[in-house]
Amino acid sequence: MTDFLSSYKSVQVAEDLPNSNFENKKQFVEPVLLIRRIAFGIAIATWMVMAIGSATRVMNAGLACPDWPLCYGTVLPAEQMNLQVFLEWFHRLVASSVGFATIILFGTSWYFRQYLPQWLPWATSGALALVVFQGVLGGLTVTQLLRFDIVTAHLGTGLLFFSSLLAIATALKKYQHNDRRSSNSSKKLAWLGLAATGLVYLQSILGALVASQWALHQCFATQDMCIVLNTHLLGVIPATIASIAVVLTALLSKEIDQDLRQIASVAGLLVIAQVAIGYATYKLHLQVEPLTVSHQAIGSALLGSLVWFTVLAFKATKSEQNQAQPAIR
């Protein structure tokens, strides 16, 4: 009997060993926190890649490296290096780093999957698929000599990848809500934020079409491509109205949490900056390169802030509903 109890205890210890080992290591590394930090870091790097890509386009450096994935047949084209070559080479370098970091994110999420939400490994798998597709499009932009539809798809996929990483990082953030009365407000803000996010994303795609076809230059010079340009200008209206609606609703609501109010304030400042820089860019006919790059970078940041706001609002709604269930029962 004693032997049986000893063997039973040894089996129980062996079964509990992985969990106990993880608890001992928890102070050193926590999978949720680790993956959230990796995802957020990749999102920032992706934003930088898109900003550098915008500078590359503005400086007509998209074909500065005539081959792909190498540049002039080497990893570092020291002999051919100039500002244009550097921009294209550095753009590829940071983009490659993002790709490798996404592989690490994918592997880490699957390795620690028993300690993570069930959706997370699949979400990182989707992010990996996006970054692989983005890399293929990046190569095609060179081999197909900057074909406008490929360039537009390249930016659209980049924005989608950027948004997915921010969504993952925000969804993994711990959220504590103490007021049960604001469920309706959070739910309304969540859907309003989702609508604004979709409109800003579509407006970004229209902007990519204008940029990839040099529609502004052609419209002013020869009256060509004015339809593309005017579509983008008209698209400013719904995207701006939806974004302002999110900001004002969040700031005027007394029931939402401070985190949502702060993100809405940031989004409001980005909307003002984006409209002002967009107007200046239009009036100056894209002659000031830093303004054009800033227009792209702030637009991406606005999209990111709306994604952040929307995911956190849905998370608040779910938290409030979970807190209200015991009271209903």
pTM of this structure: 0.87
Q: Give pLDDT tens digits for 6-50.
A: 443 443 433 343 444 444 444 445 899 999 999 999 999 999 999
Please give the pLDDT value at position 27: 44
324 phi and psi angles, rounded to 5 deg: -80, -20
Name, in order, each residue with C-beta under 8 angstroms of 278's C-beta and a sequence gap of 6 or more: 236, 295
Q: Are 253 and 185 in contact (CB under 8 A)?
A: yes
- The torsion defined by the Cα of 129, 43, 153 and 155, in degrees rounded to 10, comes to -160
Q: Cα separation of 231 and 234, whole Å? A: 5
Q: Are 90 and 77 in contact (CB under 8 A)?
A: no
Reply yes or no on whether the pLDDT at 329 is more than 60: no
Closest CA to 303 of 234, 206, 209, 201: 201
Amino acid at 242: A
More confident residue, 186 or 48: 48
Q: Tokens 């052609």 map to which residue? A: 218
Q: Cα separation of 183 and 61, whole Å? A: 50
Q: Give pLDDT tens digits for 131-183.
A: 999 999 999 999 998 999 999 999 999 999 999 999 999 999 876 655 555 55
Please give the pLDDT value at position 224: 83
Q: Tokens 């990519």 map to which residue? A: 208
Which two tokens mark 224? Answer: 């060509």
Interhelix angle 183-212/215-222, rounded to 10 degrees, is 50
Q: Tokens 């229209």 map to which residue? A: 206
Per-residue pLDDT band for 97 (boundaries 50, 70, 90) equals very high
> In this prediction, what percent of the chain has a pLDDT beyond 70?
85
Domain ranges of the chain: 29-174, 179-329
Three-class SS of residue 176? coil
DSSP conformation class of 66: -
Amino acid at 4: F
Other Cβ atoms closer than 10 A to 193: 30
Other Cβ atoms closer than 10 A to 29: 10
Q: Cα separation of 232 and 45, whole Å? A: 27
The CATH architecture of the domain made up of 179-329 is: Up-down Bundle (1.20)
Reply yes or no on whether the pLDDT at 2 is more than 50: no
Taking residues 81-110, report their average pLDDT. 95
Per-residue pLDDT band for 283 (boundaries 50, 70, 90) equals confident
More confident residue, 220 or 124: 124
